[in-house]
Amino acid sequence: MATEILMPALSPTMEEGTLAKWLVKEGDQVSAGDLLAEIETDKATMEFEAVDDGVIGKILVTSGTDEVKVNTPIAILLEDGEDLSDSATPTPPPPAVAPAVAVAPVVASAPPPKTRDRVFASPLAKRLAAQAGLDLAQISGTGPHGRIVKADVLAAEVSVTPATAPPAPTAPAETQTTAPKSKPNVAAAYSDRPFTEVALDNMRKTIAARLTEAKQSIPHFYLRRSVRLDALLSLRSQLNGELSASGRKLSVNDFVIKACANALQAVPAANGIWADDCVLQFERSDVAVAVAIEGGLFTPVIQDADQKSMSALSEQMKDLASRARDRKLAPTEYTGGSFAISNLGMFGIENFDAVINPPHSAILAVGAGTKRPHIAEDGALGTATMMDLTLSVDHRVIDGSVGADLLGAIVQGLEAPLLLLA
C-alpha cells in the first residue's frame, strides 16, 4: 500500500519548512532510518530520515521549495513490487495553495499501532526516547500508519518538560497572516524611492512573531546597574596565562554566564517561568546565551551552568556558538532555560535594553567595559573599568525587589570573581 511521506515538524516552533535538498530520487529503495532529504526549519538545516522500508514512487515537492507546511505530503513511498499507477494515493495540490487539505488525513490518523510487546517507531526515535527516559507506549506517532518518528519524541520531551514548551501558535499565525496585507500599502508609500524587496526566511518570520508576542504579552520592567571589572580582568589575565599551554582562554562573557548561574541559585524566586496558571520554579540554573548568526540569532542553553567549572562553561559555550553559526544545533540545545544573556559589549555598545524571549522570565543586557572616572570608598578620584548591565524582567514572575536582589547577586559575582571559582 502506498504511503505519503509528510513534511515533518523538526523543531518545537516549526510550522513550515524549506525542502533544501533531496538525498534520494524516484525509484530508489530505502530502509527505515535512511536519510531522505535536508530540510531548513525556522532554526537550522536538518536531515530527515525514512520511517518505513519501500521504494520512492514519486517526489511531490521539488528541491528548493520553501514555505511547505508541516504535514503536507512531499513524496509517496511504495511497497516492494507495488506500482504507482495501481495506487489510490492522490497527488496533493501544491502546498502553498491548499495546505489545509493535506493536513486532514493526519488529523484522522490512528494512534501508533501497539501490541502487548511492541511499539512501532523509527530507530532514531527509539534511541532519542531511551536517552530522554521516555516511554514509547505513551507517545502518539505522526508518521505513516501511526509510526513514532523523531519529531514525536522531541514534542514529547517538550510536553514532559514545561520549561521547553513553545509559545502558543496563535501569535505567529496572526503575525504571518496580517503582514502580507500591509505590504502593498507600505510599498506604495515608498514608490518614488529605489528599494530592494528582501524576502523573509523562516528564521526571520519566527523572530518577528516571537518578539512581537513578547512585547505585547509580557509586562517588561528594567533594572540597571554598573559593575567594576578591574578585579575580574586581573583574575582573567592570570587564569589565561596559566591556561595558555592548553590552548584554552576565558572570556568576560564566561564570567558573566557563571555569575548569572550562581545568582539564580542565590535568588531562587527569580529562577522560574510563567506557565499561565502557575509559575514553574527550577532547582538548577539553565542559562541561554544569544549568539548572532547571519540573518538572525540563536539562544543555545547551557544546562546546569551553576554546577560547571569556568573552563567547562567556556568550552561548552564555544562549541554551542560554533554549531549555532553553522545551524547545526539540535532543537533540545536551544529550547528551555529560565534566563538569558545578550552581550553586545563586544560590538562596542555600552548599554541597551533587551527583549525577553519567551518562555524566559528575564534577560541580561551586557554592555562594553570602558574606562571611566571613579570615586573610591575613601573619596579619592581615580579611573576604573566599568560595565553597564540592564536586566529586563517579566513582572508576572519577578517583582521589583526580587529582580533587584538577582541583579545585585550578579554584580557581586562579577566584582568578586574569586567567588565564582569556589
Measured in whole angstroms, the distance separating CA 402 from the mean position of its chain's CA atoms is 27
Of the residues 145, 220, 374, 395, only one is catalytic, namely 395
Q: Residue 194 corresponds to which cell in the numbers above?
A: 529605489
Of the candidates 60, 12, 9, 59, the one whose C-alpha atom is nearest the C-alpha of residue 39 is 9
Of the candidates 52, 61, 53, the one whose C-alpha atom is nearest the C-alpha of residue 20 is 61
Radius of gyration of the chain, Cα coordinates, nearest whole angstrom: 25
Of the candidates 39, 77, 403, the one whose C-alpha atom is nearest the C-alpha of residue 221 is 403
Known catalytic residue at 374: no
CB 286 within 8 A of CB 230: no
**Ranges assigned E (strand) in 275-380:** 279-281, 287-289, 291-293, 296-298, 301-302, 339-343, 362-375
Of the candidates 212, 285, 269, 286, the one whose C-alpha atom is nearest the C-alpha of residue 397 is 269
Instruction: Give CA–CA dist 151/195, Å, rounded.
Output: 40
Any idea which residues carry the catalytic annotation? 395
